[in-house]
Structure 1
């Protein structure tokens, strides 16, 4: 695994969502996103990934990327890095699977 990115814990993710210090990005595909995503997540699918669609974080904010289980989020971070986005360097490795296994709620639809 690369050393230039970070993983965020479930608890840190939840508190960052609650206090708006996280810009959350879901890189799964439309059908997966519609079936259930973390409330407030931006939809930027990996198949048409465009790092410019991710807003730059404000002071004290960070961008966190997630997918189903952690593989596509790493791919997305690598693409963002190649694009020059050094601020897209944290992911929730458990993905939506880990989120749901922890009993956390999801939102359906686009």
Structure 2
């Protein structure tokens, strides 16, 4: 089985209401301050949120730093 990291960029409250088992919650507004943490995560990094919009924003931002990540869309699509 391929190793990967799933990062949910929704708010803490949204994450608490339901999330992919084993996923990490880093709200979108915290992504810029966590770039170094993303660099150390198991690749690929799959980003998700409610609809895919916030995870798309996070993906585009992180790729500027050479971080291997992709937009997984809505978190319920990854279950």
Q: In structure 2, what is the Cα distance between the partners aligned to 1:20 and 1:32?
A: 27
RMSD: 1.8
Distance 1:73 1:45, change over 3 A: same
Q: CA deviation at 1:53?
A: 2.5
Runs of 4+ in 1 over 3 A off after TM superposition: none
| Equivalent residue for 2:49, pick from 56, 67, 73 | 67
Q: Which has the higher strand share?
A: 2
Number of residue pairs matched by the alignment: 76
TM-score relative to the length of structure 1: 0.60
Deviations 1:28-77 (A, max 9, x none): 000000101101001111022122222333xxx41110010100001001
Q: CA deviation at 1:87?
A: 1.0
TM-score relative to the length of structure 2: 0.79
Residue 56 in structure 1 maps to residue 36 in structure 2: no
Structure 2, unpaired ranges of 5+: none
Q: Which residue of 2 aligns with 1:24?
A: 6
Distance 1:86 1:48, change over 3 A: closer
Structure 1, unpaired ranges of 5+: 1-18, 105-110
